[in-house]
Amino acid sequence: MSLIKAVFYGPFAIASFLLTLIMLLSGFNSVISSMLALGLIIFVISLAGNIIIGIPTHLVLKKLNVKNGFAYILIGFISPTLILGVVEFFGNQSYRSALTTGLIFGCFGAFCAYVFWLCVVYESSADAMIEGCE
């Protein structure tokens, strides 16, 4: 059950953070419906990335017995940057623009991977430590 929750918590955290940041920067003058649509788009894209990349990566790392959060964060940073780099390689944007966008998406991916790790790996290892003490 924690794996299913983790798949949704990371994208929800990213969408909530970005919507709050946009609302603070715009001075709450923007239209609510467009903000909700933007939040939904961010959530759906992050959720798709979590399902396509996050779950298989977690299963591989679990099979390798890797419980370090830095591994999840590193993969969460590299995967969206790499995917965006491949997509932008065939596009017509400048390299600086593609690099900036890749770094931003990489940071969001790393944050989402960290939330995923907290919900799945850290929570289950903390529960195991508590049960071992009893």
Distance CA 106, CA 7 (A): 17
Q: Are 113 and 73 in contact (CB under 8 A)?
A: yes
Per-residue model confidence as pLDDT tens digits over 12-68? 888 888 777 777 777 666 666 677 777 778 888 888 888 888 888 888 988 998 888
User: What is the tally of structural domains in the chain?
Assistant: 1
Domain span at 44: 2-133
> Which residue in the block uniquely carries the two structure tokens 């049960």?
131
Report residue 40 as tokens: 């939904």
Q: What is the pTM of this model?
A: 0.76
